[in-house]
Amino acid sequence: MERQEILLEMNHVEKAFDGNGVLEDISLQVREGEVVSIIGPSGSGKSTLLRCATLLEKMDGGELIYLGKHACRQEQDKAGNSYCSYASKAELREIRKSFGLVFQNFNLFPHYSVLKNIIDAPMSVDKVSKAEAIARAEKLLAQLGLEDKADSYPYQLSGGQQQRVSIARALALQPKILFFDEPTSALDPELTVEVLKVIRQLAKEHMTMIIVTHEMQFAREVSDRIIFMEQGVIVEQGSPDEIFATDNHRVREFIGKMNA
């Protein structure tokens, strides 16, 4: 297989909250078209990693690079302590356009209709014409089986529908990478299925995705690579077959528990 362009690079990422290390020396690369799942117990730092990658949280050390552009570089102050030097606001705004994020609890805008949730950011952030934004939205709604929901408000939808709308909202900005932060954790099993179906479909279309999830079988089936994190470090990573057949006692134990 031909090597695809590296879209995201994180090198030696460090993050601490009040002196407690949450991420320690995390490095990972994601290439175009790859689907990467991050699994691991609660408190392992996987959500924090996602929040650092999406610039919602500032890293304390390491590098974050999107499409060859540095969102932040590691530098040293006069005392020799390393810190993260983030790019300018304008540069970060440009970098933010390369990714989208789907939240665990959707975070749709409740005062906007489904259509407005999807078209507003393209129009007011990317200055896309209204006709173009609506065309994109209608296409996405049809793809996600929500064509009859354009005029509904988020409170009128089921959790699964809301999560699909939030996926459409993210896709409408045509990101290169889509992050998912436990996209089905707030949903019951039936609704989980409809959201996973959408993500599976996106994987087939070679959307680059990084998914923090507790759905082991789903991760196995949809991912090109699975990363297992615990206590702020990457314990193991590899293809789903490698991870599910690993000798690492801790990984086996976790996967066993999750499948039980």
Partner 1 sequence: MDFFTLVTQLAEGFILTVEIFVLTLLFSLPLGMIVAFGRMSKNTIIRGIAKAYISIMRGTPLMLQIIVVYFAPYYVFELQMGRGYRFPAVIIAFAINYAAYFAEIYRSGIESMPVGQYEAAEILGYSKSQTFFKIILPQVIKRVLPSITNETITLVKDTSMAFTISVAEMFTIAQEISAGSTSIMPLMVAGVFYYIFNLIVATVMEYLEKRFAYYR
Contacting positions for partner 1 (CB under 8 A): 54-56, 93, 96-97, 100-101, 103, 105, 107-111, 120-121, 124-126, 153-155, 169-170, 173
Report the residue number, 106 or 218, with the smaller CB distance to partner 1.
Answer: 106
Any idea how long the chain is?
A: 260
C-alpha angle 221-225-228 in degrees, rounded to nearest 5? 100
Q: Which of 74, 73, 71 is nearest to 88 (CA)?
A: 71
Report the residue number, 74 or 163, with the smaller CB distance to partner 1.
Answer: 163
Report the residue number, 83 or 109, with the smaller CB distance to partner 1.
Answer: 109
* Closest distance to partner 1 from the beta carbon of 123 (Å): 11
At residue 9, what are phi and psi to the nearest 5 degrees?
-135, 125
* Closest distance to partner 1 from the beta carbon of 101 (Å): 5
3-class DSSP state of 236: strand
Report the residue number, 211 or 251, with the smaller CB distance to partner 1.
Answer: 211
* Closest distance to partner 1 from the beta carbon of 238 (Å): 29
Please answer whether residues 41 and 247 qualify as being in contact, where contact means their C-beta atoms are separated by less than 8 angstroms. no
**What whole-number distance in Å separates Cα of residue 121 and Cα of residue 128?**
9
* Closest distance to partner 1 from the beta carbon of 240 (Å): 28
Instruction: Find how far residue 171's CA is from the centre of its chain.
Output: 12
3-class DSSP state of 73: strand
**What whole-number distance in Å separates Cα of residue 181 and Cα of residue 204?**
20
The secondary structure of 172-228 as a DSSP string is TT--SEEEEESTTTTS-HHHHHHHHHHHHHHHHTT-EEEEE-S-HHHHHHH-SEEEE
* Closest distance to partner 1 from the beta carbon of 100 (Å): 7
* Closest distance to partner 1 from the beta carbon of 236 (Å): 29
Report the residue number, 107 or 201, with the smaller CB distance to partner 1.
Answer: 107
Report the residue number, 106 or 254, with the smaller CB distance to partner 1.
Answer: 106
